[in-house]
Chains A and B, each alone.
Chain A
Amino acid sequence: MSGHSNWPEWIYVAVVIALMTWVGAEAWEAERLVEHVPADAKTIIATGQQWFWTFEHEDGTKEIGELHVEVGKAYKFEVVSTDVNHSFNIHDYVVLIDAIPGRVNTVWFAPDKVGEHDIQCREYCGLIHYNMRGTLYVTEPTS
C-alpha cells in the first residue's frame, strides 16, 4: 500500500507515456504525408452498391468489377455509395475508405508495379458482402 516507495511504477508509467507519444508522433507524421494528394492525380469515381463496384474514369469510360490503371501514375478515388455503407479496399496498396450514401470520400494511390490485385468491400453490407470483390489491373502506360 502507501508504505513503500513507488519509484519503479513511476518509471514504468513514464516509459509507457514516452512510447505512446512516439507512436502518436510517428503516426501523425505518416498520416500527414499519406493524405497529401498529388496535384496531377487522375480522378476515378468508385461507386459501391449492393454488391459490386463501378468505376468511372475522367474520360467517362466505365468499368464494373474491374479497374484498369497505368503504372507510375497517381489516382484519386472519389468513393460514393448508392444504397448502404460499403468500404472500398485495395489491401495490397493500403487503400481503404468507406463508401457512404450522401457523402464523397477521397483516397489516393500510385501503383508502382505492373500486376493484378484484389479489390474488396470491407464494411458489412448484407447478403453478398462476402463476394463484393473485384480486380485491379495495373498495366504499362499505353501512350
Chain B
Amino acid sequence: MTLELQKPRPIWQIMFSTHHTDVGLLYLISSLTFLFLGGSLALGIRAELFLPGSQIIADSMTFNRIFTVHGTTLIFLFIIPFASAVGNYYVPIMVRYKDMAYPKLNAIAFWMIPPAGVLIWLGFADFTWYATPPYSIISAPGPAADMWIFGLKILGISSVLGALNFVVTILKCKHPDMSIGQIPLLAWSFLSSSLIIIVAIPTFAAALLMLLTDRLGVSGFFNPAMGGDPISYAHLFWFTFHPEVYVLVIPAIGMMYEIIPRFSRKPIYSYNSGIFAFVMLSIVGFSSWAHHMYATGMSFTEKTVFMVGTLAAVPASAMHVFNFVATMWNARIRFSTPMMWAVGGIALFFSAGAGGVVNSAMPLDFTTHDTYWVVGHFHLFVMGTIAFGSIGFLYYMFPYVTGRMYNETLGKIHFVLSFIGTVLVFFTQHVLGLYGMPRRIYDYPPIPEWIAMNQIASIGAMIIGISMAVFLANMIHSSAKGKLADTDDPFGLGGKYYYPFEAKNPSH
C-alpha cells in the first residue's frame, strides 16, 4: 500500500526525513497531541461553569488564559496541522508526483510548529484568540502576550510556506497525463484552501507586527491614547480570519469527498459542482469579514454590504451538502467508522450553517453576538464538522499508515459518544446565548435557566472527554497490536475498485 509501509524505523530517521509521508506522520502526531492538550483545557472550562461560583479554577485570570490557549491551540495547532498531515500523505499521490514540490521547505514548515506551540503554551496569554486592542496593548500581561504574538507569527509563516508548497505541487508537479479537472476533490480542496491562505494571512501578519510595536510603545496604530484606531485592527484581523474559517473547513469537506463516495460505493454525484463550490467559497469568502463587527458601530450601509457578502457564500456551502446527500441517495452504504463520522459531520455542518444565517441577519445578530450562541455556532463547525471530518479521515487512513486495523467497535463507540456529546454541548449553547449569557465569563449569576443549560453542556463535554479516551486507547493499542489490515480492501467494500486513488507512488 501507499502511505507508509516502509519497515519500522527509529524515530530520529523520521524526524530528519523530508519525505512527504514522514512529514505527514510528524504533522499527524503533533496535531493529535495538541488535540488532546487543547481538549483537556475545554474540560476545565466546562467543569468551572458547571455551577455559579468558583469550582475548580482559582481565579478569573487563569480562566481567561485557559480559554485563550484552548482556542488558539485547537485552531492553529490541531485543525490546520491535521489538514497538512492529510495533504502531505495524499496530495503528492493524487497528482502522481514523487513528493511535495519542495521537500525541505515542507519539513521546515512542519518544524516551525513545535516551537510556536511551546511559546503559546509557556506564555499562556489571556487576551482571547483575537487579541483585540487596546486591551492587548495596554492591559494584557506580558510576556505571555508577546509570546503569543511570536507564536502566531511563526504559525502564519508555516502556513504560508505549506500553502505555497501545495499550490506548486498541484499545479506544477501533477502528472502531465492528468488535467487539473481530473485531480480528486480532496486535492482540489487543498488547492482552494492554500490559495486562501496565501491571500489572507499576510494581512494578519502585518497586524501582528503592528500590535507588537504598539505593545512596545513605539507606535500607536491601534492605541486610541496615541491617536490610533482599534477598529482598524478588527478589520485587518477579520479580513484574514473570516476567509480562514474556509481554510479550516474546506480540507475537511475534501476529506468527506474521499470517504462518502467510497462507502456509498458510487462515484460522487457531481465532481464539477464540488470544484465549483470550493472555488466559489474561496472567492466569496473574502466579501464577508465585517459580519463579526456589526456591533462596533458600523453604518447601516456597511452592515448591509457585509450581510449580503455573507449570505452570498451560503449557496456554495449548501451545494456541498447536496452533493453528499445525492451521492448517498439509493446507495449501498457501508456504515464503517469513517463513514459514520463523515455523515455525522455533514448533519452538524448543516445545523451550523443554519445558525450562521441567523448571525448574518443584522438585527438578529444583536441578540446572538458575543453570547454563547456564537460559541455554539462556530463549535458546530470546528468540532462538529471539521474535527468530525478529520477524525473520520484518520480512521480511514489508519490501515494505510499503520498496516493494521483499528478496533471497529471502539471506533463506533467513539463516534456515538462524541455525536451525543457534541449535540448536548453546542446546541444547548445556542439556547444559552438566546437567554443572554455572554461568552468568555468566568462566573455567572445564578439564573436558573443558565445553570440548567450550563450543566447540560458540561455533561456533554464529559461525554466527549470519555469518547476521546476511548479513541486514544484504540489508536495506541491498534497501531501496535491491531490485526493486520487487508490493504487492498481494508473496509470490506468489495474490491480494489472502491479505492481508486491509491496508485503506487513512483518513489516507493
Q: Does A39 contact B (CB under 8 A)?
A: no
Give the complex CA separation of A12 and B315 in angstroms.
Answer: 9
Majority-rule SS of B interface residues: helix
Name B126's closest neighbour in chain A (CB-CB): A126
Choice from A83, A121, A131 contacting B139 with Cβ under 8 Å = A83
A2 to chain B, nearest CB (A): 6
Considering the chains assembled together, what is the distance between the CA atoms of A130 and B442 in angstroms? Answer: 6
Distance in angstroms between the alpha carbons of A26 and B319 in the assembled complex: 24
CB within 8 Å for A6 and B273 given contacts A98-B296, A120-B438, A122-B370:
yes
Whether the pair B311, A24 counts as a contact (CB closer than 8 A) is yes
A9 and B444 contacting across the interface, CB-CB below 8 Å:
no
Given known contacts A1-B267, A2-B272, A6-B273, A129 and B440 CB-to-CB distance under 8 angstroms:
yes
- Spot the interface stretch: A15-23, A55-63, A66-74: A15-23
Distance between B437 CB and nearest chain A CB, rounded to angstroms: 9
Instruction: Tell me whether B295 and A98 are in contact (CB under 8 A).
Output: yes
CB contact list, A69-108 vs B, under 8 A: 83-85, 87, 89, 91-92, 94-98, 100-103, 105-106
Instruction: Check B132 for interface membership: any CB of A closer than 8 A.
Output: yes
Chain A residue nearest to B312 (CB atoms) is A20
B238-272 contact mask (Cβ, 8 Å, vs A): 1 or 0: 00000000000000000000000000000111111
- In-complex Cβ contact of B270 among A1, A96, A97, A126 (8 A): A1
- Asked if A12 contacts B296 (CB within 8 A), the reply is no
Whole-angstrom CA separation of A85 from B273 in the bound complex:
43
User: Considering the chains assembled together, what is the distance between the CA atoms of A72 and B344 in angstroms?
Assistant: 49
B440 — nearest CB in chain A belongs to which residue?
A124
A20 touches B319 (CB 8 A): no
CB neighbours of B371 from chain A (8 A): 91, 122
Which residues of chain A are near B404, meaning CB under 8 Å?
none
Could you tell me which residues of chain A, from 41 to 55, have a CB within 8 Å of some CB in chain B? 50
- With both chains docked as a complex, state the minimum distance between the C-beta of A82 and any C-beta of chain B, in angstroms: 10
B364 pairs with A27, CB closer than 8 A: yes
B138 interface neighbour in A84, A127, A131, Cβ under 8 Å: A84
Q: Would you give the 0/1 interface string for B352-383, flagging 1 where the beta carbon is closer than 8 Å to chain A? A: 00000100111110110111000000000000
Task: Say how far B45's CB is from chain A's closest CB, in angstroms.
Answer: 13
Query: Which chain B residue lies CB-closest to A96?
Result: B366
Contact in complex: B139, A84 (CB < 8 Å): yes
Q: Which residue of B lies closest to A123 (CB)?
A: B370
Asked whether any CB of chain B lies closer than 8 Å to the CB of A35, the reply is yes
Chain A nearest CB, measured from B52 CB (Å): 10
A102 touching B229, Cβ below 8 Å: yes
Considering the complex, which residues of chain A in the window 1-17 have a beta carbon less than 8 Å from any beta carbon of chain B?
1-2, 6, 8-9, 12-13, 16-17
Which residue in A13, A34, A35, A91 is a CB contact (below 8 Å) of B436? A91
Q: Quick check: A24 and B61 within 8 Å, CB to CB?
A: no
Nearest chain-B residue to A27 (Cβ)? Answer: B361
Q: Is B416 at the interface (CB under 8 A from chain A)?
A: no
Bound: A6/B123 CA distance, A: 53
Stretch of B159-167, B201-209, B299-307 contacting A (4+ beta carbons < 8 Å): B299-307
A91: nearest chain-B partner, CB-CB? B436
Q: Does A116 contact B (CB under 8 A)?
A: no
Tell me whether A122 and B438 are in contact (CB under 8 A): yes
Contacts of B60 in A (CB 8 A): 127-130
**A138, CB-defined interface residue at 8 Å:** no
Nearest-CB residue, chain B, relative to A124: B440
Tell me whether A100 and B297 are in contact (CB under 8 A).
yes
In the complex, which range does the number of interface residues on chain B fall in?
35 or more
Query: By the criterion CB–CB under 8 Å, are B270 and A20 in contact?
Result: no
Instruction: Determine the residue in chain A with the shortest Cβ distance to B434.
Output: A91
Q: Specify which chain B residues have a CB less than 8 angstroms from the CB of A13 in the assembled complex.
A: 315, 318-319, 322
Verify B322–A12 contact, CB threshold 8 A: yes
For residue A50, which residue of chain B has the nearest CB? B139
Residues of A within 8 A of B369 (CB): 87, 96, 122
Q: Is the CB of A31 within 8 A of B314?
A: no
Residue of A nearest to B63 (CB): A130
Residue B459 interfacial (CB < 8 Å): no
The docked-state distance in angstroms from the alpha carbon of A118 to that of B267 is: 55
CB distance from A58 to the nearest CB of B (A): 21
- Chain A CB within 8 A of B128 CB: yes
Residue of B nearest to A1 (CB): B271
How far apart sit A22 and B429, CA to CA, in the bound complex (Å)?
27
The reply to whether B326 and A27 contact each other, CB–CB distance below 8 Å, is no
Is the CB–CB distance between A16 and B314 below 8 Å? yes
Q: Is B445 an interface residue (CB 8 A)?
A: yes
A121 in contact with B438 given A102-B224, A128-B60 (CB within 8 Å): yes
19 contacts between A and B (CB under 8 A): A12-B318, A16-B318, A20-B311, A20-B314, A27-B363, A28-B307, A31-B304, A84-B134, A85-B230, A91-B371, A94-B366, A97-B295, A100-B296, A101-B134, A105-B296, A120-B436, A122-B371, A126-B135, A129-B441
What are the nearest 10 A-B pairs in CB distance?
A91-B436, A102-B224, A105-B297, A130-B441, A27-B361, A84-B135, A101-B224, A20-B311, A122-B370, A96-B366
Chain A residues in the interface with B (C-beta under 8 A): 1-2, 6, 8-9, 12-13, 16-17, 20-21, 23-24, 26-28, 30-32, 34-35, 50, 83-85, 87, 89, 91-92, 94-98, 100-103, 105-106, 118, 120-131, 133
User: Which residues in B have some Cβ–Cβ distance to A below 8 Å?
Assistant: 60-61, 64, 126-128, 132, 134-135, 138-140, 224-225, 229-231, 267-273, 295-297, 300, 303-304, 307-308, 311-312, 314-315, 318-319, 322-323, 326, 357, 360-364, 366-367, 369-371, 436, 438-445
Known: A85-B132, A100-B230, A100-B296. 15 other contacts (CB 8 A): A2-B271, A6-B273, A12-B318, A84-B134, A85-B230, A87-B370, A97-B297, A103-B231, A105-B297, A122-B438, A123-B370, A124-B132, A125-B135, A126-B64, A129-B64
